[in-house]
Copies of this chain bind each other. A is one copy, B any other.
Amino acid sequence: MKAFLRAVIVWGMGIMMTLVLAQAHDDDKKPYVLVIHGGAGTILKKNMTAEKELAYRTKLDEALRTGQAILEGGGTAVDAVVATINVMENSPLFNAGKGAVFNHRGENEMDASIMDGRDLNAGAVAGVRRVKNPINLAREVMTNSKHVMLSGEGAEEFADSRGVELVDPAYFRTKKRWNQLQKALERDQVFLDHDGDQDSGKPDTDKIADRGRDPEDPDQKFGTVGAAALDIHGNLAAGTSTGGMTNKRWNRIGDSPVIGAGTYADNNSCALSATGHGEYFLRAVVAHSVCALMEYKGLTLQQAADEIVMNKLVRMGGEGGIIAVDRAGNVTMTFNTEGMYRGYVKGQGEPVIQIYKEE
């Protein structure tokens, strides 16, 4: 009996060891990671209804699981980034694709960019108005053009020549965003009455930041979507897609379509997507700065993110955040605002989704 028990124990331990080793082997084979954001801003629980919060959490979960399935199947980081962003672009919850904000002329004018950390190949589009999924066009620019950045009608002409899906501009119009534009236009008017010509004089950061705020929907301003991934092949990629700022004028281009500012990916450091007050992110070359601090100064991903987002940007007055993953699979979701729609998933694990600062 004792010998039988011993045999059972040894047999059991053998099975357990096999399982542990298999698991370790599996983890070793697939250390894939996906991290996303759906925009940063003054997102406070007190301003959020249970329904709205659930809607965001559900959509972020769907986005993560979509990319996770691709990575699990051996898909590339670029594939995962595009598919993940598509889920958010196709949802009216986020300021990208279907939910893009309106510019001063009442148009939806979108930007996107993507970068492959394997070879530093990159693609970007600025100011497109008929491309259903701007991130798909950015990818097409990256893989099937000799250029990195296309803009406006020319970018749409290229999209058409490559079979990238175009839609009627009406597709992007949502009631919620239209109302935001009307409020923004009204506030500009008030602002004009009190402070003279809004478009002249030195830029005043406080006024500008304030002008962009909607107390009833404070998260509209920095609503951009983005994703960064590490695939089982060890490659990094990142992408960003946005409608820009409500009431923007003069074919303004923010940081989202700018390689180095809103998006960067380099297998030597990390893959990163940013969301925030684009002008500051452009001036600080945020995405590339984080990568450079890792590569040139030897900082960890979190140290680099803290230095740029929590120190440099805060000193400059630039609100927003980033999500990033490094080649070891470390993740950061760092922001200096009240909240950021965000989440990550590692391997076959469960998605982790967060919205508020303390969570």
> What is the interface of chain A, defined by CB distance below 8 A to chain B?
115, 120-122, 126-127, 143-155, 157-158, 161-162, 199-203, 208, 248-254, 258-261, 264, 278-279, 282-285, 288-289, 292-293, 296-297, 316
Contacts and interface: CB of A to CB of B under 8 A. Distances in A.
A256 to B, nearest CB: 11
Given A150-B252, A151-B152, 7 more contacts: A122-B283, A144-B200, A146-B279, A148-B278, A151-B252, A153-B251, A292-B292
Q: Counting chain B CB atoms within 10 Å of each CB, which of A155, A199, A282 scores highest?
A: A282
A285 B291 CA distance: 11
A154 B285 contact: no
B122 A151 contact: no
Nearest to A304: B296
A250 B150 contact: yes
A115 B161 CA distance: 36
Given A120-B316, A284-B120, A251 B161 contact: no
A283 B259 CA distance: 7
Chain copies in complex:
2
A115 B254 CA distance: 16
B260 A148 contact: no
A78 to B, nearest CB: 14
20 contacts: A115-B283, A126-B126, A127-B151, A145-B199, A146-B279, A147-B252, A148-B283, A152-B251, A154-B250, A158-B250, A162-B199, A162-B200, A259-B261, A260-B261, A264-B285, A285-B285, A292-B292, A292-B293, A296-B296, A296-B297
Contacts of A126: 126, 151, 253
A260 B152 CA distance: 22
A201 B150 contact: no
A240 to B, nearest CB: 15
Contacts of A285: 259-260, 264, 285, 288
Given A284-B120, A285-B259, A251 B155 contact: yes
A346 to B, nearest CB: 28
